[in-house]
Protein backbone atom coordinates (compact mmCIF):
# COMPACT_ATOMS: atom_id res chain seq x y z
CA UNK A 1 0.00 0.00 0.00
CA UNK A 2 1.58 3.23 -1.17
CA UNK A 3 -0.17 5.56 1.29
CA UNK A 4 1.61 5.40 4.62
CA UNK A 5 0.60 5.37 8.27
CA UNK A 6 -1.50 8.34 9.44
CA UNK A 7 -1.12 10.09 6.11
CA UNK A 8 -3.76 12.46 4.77
CA UNK A 9 -5.36 11.87 1.37
CA UNK A 10 -7.22 14.85 -0.13
CA UNK A 11 -9.54 14.29 -3.10
CA UNK A 12 -10.53 17.16 -5.39
CA UNK A 13 -12.66 17.06 -8.51
CA UNK A 14 -16.23 17.43 -9.78
CA UNK A 15 -19.62 15.81 -9.13
CA UNK A 16 -18.27 12.29 -9.62
CA UNK A 17 -16.25 12.81 -6.44
CA UNK A 18 -18.56 15.29 -4.67
CA UNK A 19 -21.64 13.03 -4.56
CA UNK A 20 -23.40 15.17 -1.95
CA UNK A 21 -20.44 15.49 0.40
CA UNK A 22 -20.55 17.76 3.45
CA UNK A 23 -19.44 21.33 2.79
CA UNK A 24 -16.99 23.04 2.99
CA UNK A 25 -14.55 20.24 3.90
CA UNK A 26 -15.78 16.67 4.19
CA UNK A 27 -14.31 14.29 6.73
CA UNK A 28 -15.22 12.71 10.07
CA UNK A 29 -18.40 11.13 11.38
CA UNK A 30 -21.82 10.44 9.86
CA UNK A 31 -20.77 9.67 6.28
CA UNK A 32 -19.60 13.16 5.27
CA UNK A 33 -17.66 12.04 2.18
CA UNK A 34 -20.69 11.65 -0.08
CA UNK A 35 -22.39 8.66 -1.68
CA UNK A 36 -19.72 7.73 -4.21
CA UNK A 37 -16.29 6.27 -4.77
CA UNK A 38 -14.54 8.44 -2.17
CA UNK A 39 -16.66 6.89 0.58
CA UNK A 40 -15.97 3.44 -0.89
CA UNK A 41 -12.22 4.12 -0.78
CA UNK A 42 -12.38 5.39 2.80
CA UNK A 43 -14.41 2.38 3.93
CA UNK A 44 -12.14 -0.14 2.24
CA UNK A 45 -9.01 1.50 3.63
CA UNK A 46 -10.49 1.48 7.12
CA UNK A 47 -11.61 -2.15 6.85
CA UNK A 48 -8.41 -3.52 5.30
CA UNK A 49 -5.70 -1.28 6.75
CA UNK A 50 -7.02 -0.13 10.15
CA UNK A 51 -3.47 -0.02 11.48
CA UNK A 52 -2.55 2.73 9.03
CA UNK A 53 -5.19 5.23 10.16
CA UNK A 54 -5.32 6.92 6.74
CA UNK A 55 -7.25 10.20 6.79
CA UNK A 56 -9.47 10.84 3.75
CA UNK A 57 -10.74 14.36 3.00
CA UNK A 58 -13.14 15.22 0.17
CA UNK A 59 -13.09 18.77 -1.23
CA UNK A 60 -14.62 18.05 -4.65
CA UNK A 61 -17.35 20.36 -5.97
CA UNK A 62 -20.09 19.44 -8.43
CA UNK A 63 -19.75 21.16 -11.80
CA UNK A 64 -16.05 21.91 -11.44
CA UNK A 65 -13.61 22.46 -14.28
CA UNK A 66 -9.91 23.22 -13.95
CA UNK A 67 -10.87 26.90 -13.90
CA UNK A 68 -12.86 26.37 -10.71
CA UNK A 69 -10.03 24.33 -9.22
CA UNK A 70 -7.68 27.24 -9.87
CA UNK A 71 -9.94 29.60 -7.91
CA UNK A 72 -10.20 27.20 -4.95
CA UNK A 73 -6.71 25.70 -5.01
CA UNK A 74 -5.19 27.64 -2.10
CA UNK A 75 -8.02 26.93 0.35
CA UNK A 76 -9.14 23.53 -0.89
CA UNK A 77 -5.72 21.97 -1.47
CA UNK A 78 -2.69 23.92 -0.27
CA UNK A 79 -4.26 24.90 3.07
CA UNK A 80 -5.20 21.26 3.71
CA UNK A 81 -1.52 20.25 3.61
CA UNK A 82 -2.16 16.79 2.17
CA UNK A 83 0.40 14.01 2.18
CA UNK A 84 -1.36 12.56 -0.87
CA UNK A 85 -3.53 14.40 -3.36
CA UNK A 86 -5.94 12.80 -5.85
CA UNK A 87 -7.22 14.95 -8.73
CA UNK A 88 -10.14 13.79 -10.88
CA UNK A 89 -11.06 16.62 -13.24
CA UNK A 90 -11.91 17.14 -16.91
CA UNK A 91 -15.41 15.83 -17.46
CA UNK A 92 -17.10 19.24 -17.28
CA UNK A 93 -14.27 20.84 -19.25
CA UNK A 94 -15.38 18.57 -22.10
CA UNK A 95 -19.12 18.31 -21.40
CA UNK A 96 -19.81 22.05 -21.52
CA UNK A 97 -18.56 22.05 -25.11
CA UNK A 98 -21.43 19.70 -25.99
CA UNK A 99 -24.36 20.55 -23.70
CA UNK A 100 -23.77 24.33 -23.86
CA UNK A 101 -22.48 24.79 -27.41
CA UNK A 102 -23.74 28.39 -27.65
CA UNK A 103 -21.91 29.47 -24.50
CA UNK A 104 -18.23 29.40 -25.45
CA UNK A 105 -17.29 31.27 -22.28
CA UNK A 106 -18.05 28.03 -20.41
CA UNK A 107 -15.77 25.92 -22.61
CA UNK A 108 -12.31 24.92 -21.42
CA UNK A 109 -10.26 24.07 -24.47
CA UNK A 110 -7.58 21.43 -24.48
CA UNK A 111 -4.66 23.89 -24.36
CA UNK A 112 -6.16 25.80 -21.43
CA UNK A 113 -6.93 22.54 -19.65
CA UNK A 114 -3.34 21.34 -19.86
CA UNK A 115 -1.79 24.71 -19.02
CA UNK A 116 -4.00 25.32 -15.97
CA UNK A 117 -3.77 21.75 -14.70
CA UNK A 118 0.01 21.73 -15.08
CA UNK A 119 0.39 25.03 -13.21
CA UNK A 120 -1.73 23.79 -10.30
CA UNK A 121 0.31 20.61 -10.00
CA UNK A 122 3.57 22.57 -10.04
CA UNK A 123 2.34 24.52 -7.01
CA UNK A 124 1.57 21.49 -4.89
CA UNK A 125 3.84 18.66 -6.06
CA UNK A 126 6.96 19.58 -4.01
CA UNK A 127 5.01 19.33 -0.75
CA UNK A 128 3.40 15.94 -1.46
CA UNK A 129 4.39 12.42 -0.57
CA UNK A 130 2.33 11.23 -3.49
CA UNK A 131 0.07 12.46 -6.28
CA UNK A 132 -2.74 10.58 -8.04
CA UNK A 133 -4.17 11.75 -11.36
CA UNK A 134 -7.38 10.21 -12.68
CA UNK A 135 -8.49 10.29 -16.29
CA UNK A 136 -11.88 11.83 -17.04
CA UNK A 137 -14.38 9.34 -18.38
CA UNK A 138 -17.42 8.85 -20.55
CA UNK A 139 -19.39 5.64 -20.19
CA UNK A 140 -19.62 5.17 -23.96
CA UNK A 141 -18.07 2.24 -25.84
CA UNK A 142 -18.07 3.95 -29.25
CA UNK A 143 -14.71 5.70 -29.33
CA UNK A 144 -15.69 7.58 -32.49
CA UNK A 145 -18.62 9.28 -30.76
CA UNK A 146 -17.63 13.01 -30.74
CA UNK A 147 -17.77 13.62 -26.99
CA UNK A 148 -16.02 10.33 -26.27
CA UNK A 149 -13.26 11.30 -28.72
CA UNK A 150 -12.83 14.64 -26.98
CA UNK A 151 -12.82 12.98 -23.54
CA UNK A 152 -10.05 10.64 -24.68
CA UNK A 153 -7.99 13.65 -25.79
CA UNK A 154 -8.31 15.19 -22.34
CA UNK A 155 -7.48 11.83 -20.80
CA UNK A 156 -4.30 11.75 -22.88
CA UNK A 157 -3.32 15.08 -21.31
CA UNK A 158 -3.82 13.58 -17.85
CA UNK A 159 -1.57 10.67 -18.77
CA UNK A 160 1.09 13.11 -19.97
CA UNK A 161 0.84 15.17 -16.79
CA UNK A 162 1.11 12.04 -14.66
CA UNK A 163 4.46 11.26 -16.25
CA UNK A 164 5.60 14.87 -15.99
CA UNK A 165 4.79 15.13 -12.28
CA UNK A 166 5.72 11.59 -11.21
CA UNK A 167 2.11 10.77 -10.32
CA UNK A 168 0.21 7.54 -9.93
CA UNK A 169 -2.11 7.26 -12.93
CA UNK A 170 -5.63 5.91 -12.47
CA UNK A 171 -7.10 5.11 -15.89
CA UNK A 172 -10.80 5.40 -15.07
CA UNK A 173 -11.79 5.42 -18.73
CA UNK A 174 -9.90 2.19 -19.31
CA UNK A 175 -11.68 0.59 -16.37
CA UNK A 176 -15.11 1.50 -17.74
CA UNK A 177 -14.10 0.29 -21.20
CA UNK A 178 -13.35 -3.17 -19.81
CA UNK A 179 -16.77 -3.43 -18.16
CA UNK A 180 -18.53 -2.05 -21.25
CA UNK A 181 -17.54 -5.19 -23.11
CA UNK A 182 -20.22 -6.95 -21.03
CA UNK A 183 -22.74 -4.28 -19.98
CA UNK A 184 -24.71 -1.53 -21.69
CA UNK A 185 -23.69 2.03 -20.66
CA UNK A 186 -27.09 2.63 -19.04
CA UNK A 187 -26.39 -0.23 -16.62
CA UNK A 188 -23.55 1.88 -15.23
CA UNK A 189 -24.52 5.52 -15.81
CA UNK A 190 -27.92 6.78 -16.97
CA UNK A 191 -26.41 9.87 -18.64
CA UNK A 192 -23.11 8.17 -19.59
CA UNK A 193 -21.31 10.34 -17.02
CA UNK A 194 -22.68 9.97 -13.48
CA UNK A 195 -22.14 6.35 -12.39
CA UNK A 196 -24.45 4.25 -10.28
CA UNK A 197 -23.07 2.39 -7.26
CA UNK A 198 -21.51 -0.30 -9.45
CA UNK A 199 -19.71 2.41 -11.40
CA UNK A 200 -18.52 4.09 -8.24
CA UNK A 201 -17.17 0.82 -6.90
CA UNK A 202 -15.38 0.30 -10.20
CA UNK A 203 -13.70 3.70 -9.78
CA UNK A 204 -12.80 2.91 -6.16
CA UNK A 205 -11.35 -0.47 -7.12
CA UNK A 206 -9.31 1.05 -9.95
CA UNK A 207 -8.06 3.81 -7.66
CA UNK A 208 -7.00 1.45 -4.88
CA UNK A 209 -5.42 -1.07 -7.24
CA UNK A 210 -3.17 1.69 -8.57
CA UNK A 211 -2.02 2.27 -4.98
CA UNK A 212 -1.12 -1.40 -4.47
CA UNK A 213 -4.13 -2.15 -2.26
CA UNK A 214 -4.32 -5.82 -1.27
CA UNK A 215 -7.72 -7.25 -2.22
Catalytic residue among 14, 15, 93, 171: 15
33/56 Cα distance (integer angstroms): 8
33/26 Cα distance (integer angstroms): 5
212/51 Cα distance (integer angstroms): 16
Catalytic residue among 75, 99, 191, 209: 191
Catalytic residue among 31, 107, 165, 194: 194
Q: In this structure, how many other beta carbons lie within 10 angstroms of the beta carbon of residue 152?
A: 16
Contacts of 176 (CB under 8 A, 6+ apart): 137, 139, 188, 199, 202
Q: Are 185 and 139 in contact (CB under 8 A)?
A: yes
Please confirm, yes or no, whether 194 is among the known catalytic residues. yes
DSSP label at residue 26: B
Look at residues 97, 100, 203, 86 and name the one whose alpha carbon lies nearest to residue 149: 97
* Residues labelled catalytic: 15, 191, 194
Amino acid sequence: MKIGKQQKLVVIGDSISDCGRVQPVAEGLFDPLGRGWVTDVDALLGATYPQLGIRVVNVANSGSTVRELKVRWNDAVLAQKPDWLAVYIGINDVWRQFDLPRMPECHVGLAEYEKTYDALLKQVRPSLQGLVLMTPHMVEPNRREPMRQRMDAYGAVVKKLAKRHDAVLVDVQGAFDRVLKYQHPMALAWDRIHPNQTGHMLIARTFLSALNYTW
